[in-house]
Each structure stands twice: as structure tokens, then as C-alpha cells.
Amino acid sequence: MSNNGLLRQRGFDVSVVAFDLDGTLVDTLPDLHTATNLTLNDLGYDPVSADVVRQHIGQGIEYLLLELFKDLGIQIEATDLNNIAQQFRAHYARHVCDDSELFPGIEHVLKTLQHRGLKMACLTNKSELFTGPILNKLGIRSYFQEVICGDTLEKRKPDPLPLRVLASRFGVDTRHVLMVGDSKTDTACARNAGAPVVCVPFGYRSGMALSDLDCDAILGNAEDLLNLIEKA
């Protein structure tokens, strides 16, 4: 099926909307870029561009570092990776929301869905250590009845467990939880859990084309989501 534009004319019959964080709600690239270059500087390497970092966001810090080092032709042992990841976390903790910001239209969407009585959650692979400060500093934590992070459960996206646990906490079937994301990690999680999924036009996608994502709709902008939701 082609994923060009909005793919459904009728709304999704859902009770809960689960939002990814990085690349969906918040543009976290600037601060991840800062932490990356500070870590590279610690190791004696030159800085990289934001576009390089963008390719590897969404599957955790270790993944970001492994893929980055592959790009740069740097050989890293597993033991070294653990130490480097801790250096990265220390830098990121100091800069976690210096320049990160909500994507256009996101706060309006959250306010409108809240007004309509939809339940909302944040379902992210980012650790709890960083998720809370970002949601709080940007003033959107109160919109979410549940927040499930990458280290909240024993498995994370694309495994279906986080979405299934989320549905259970709300007392609904996964079919009534709409996943809103920006990457294959989000779409695979939804498909594995039997939930509908839509993708925002911004985000990171680990280098994939937007049209290659296996989703039910691609939004033209954040506000398009409001036209696709019918409360179950």
C-alpha cells in the first residue's frame, strides 16, 4: 500500500493515543548532537554534524554510539562501549533540554485531545532519567496519564510488550490504542501489538524514507491527527 498522505478517510476508533517522544513530540536532536560531540571530544575525535547523529536516534544510546563509530570507522570493544555510553549519559544529563523543543502544532494537538477526553501516554525508548526532565521542562508531562520509557519494562519497542502493558493499564484492547511515531521502531511495535499506527512527517527514521514506513497514515502536519481520531 502506498503511504503517501493520509491513507484513511474515516477516523480511528480509539480511546488512548500513545506518542513516541524523540522525533514525534520533541525535536531532541540539538541536545543529542551536543552530547555526541562532547563524547567524541573526550575520546580525541573531531565533531560530527547533526545530520550524522540524526541517522541513529531512536534505539538507545548504545545503538547511536555503535552506528556512529561504524560510520567513523572506529573500532570499539564491548567493555569500552559501556564506559563511553556512561560518558555520553553524563554529558546528555547536563544538556538534556537546553535546545530541545516541541515540534510545531504538538501542544495544540495535546490540548485538543485532552479537551475531547482522550487518554494519552508517552511511549518512548528513551530512559526515565532523561524522559522526565524533557516532559517537565517543555510543560507537557501533565497531558499523559502514563509514561513508559525504554528502561521501564524488560523489553522496549519494537517489541509489543510496552504497548500491551500500556493498553492493560488503561483497561482497553490494543486495537483501541493509536500509536503516533516517526520511525520503524514505532510502526513495528504497533504492528506486533495489533494496534493502529500513524507517522508524523518530521522525525528521524534512522535514514528510512517516510514512504517506506508501514503505517496506516502519514500526517501532513501534527494537526492532521485531530481529523483522524474518533473516541471509542
Q: Which residues are catalytic?
A: 20
Kindly state the helix (H) or strand (E) to which residue 33 belongs, with its residue range: helix 29-42
Q: Going by C-beta distance under 8 Å and a sequence separation of 6 or more, which residues neighbour residue 219?
A: 6, 198, 199, 200, 201, 225, 228
Are the C-beta atoms of residues 44 and 205 closer than 8 Å to each other?
Answer: no
- Residue 36 burial class via C-beta count within 10 angstroms: exposed 0-12, middle 13-18, buried 19 and up: buried
| Cα separations in angstroms, 37 against 82, 133, 230 | 17, 21, 44
Residue in 5, 6, 9, 18 with CA at minimum distance from that of residue 195:
18
Please state, in angstroms and rounded to a whole number, the distance separating the CA atoms of residues 163 and 96: 25
Sign of CA dihedral 190, 107, 54, 227: positive
Q: At what angle do helices 29-42 and 61-72 cross, to 10 degrees?
A: 60
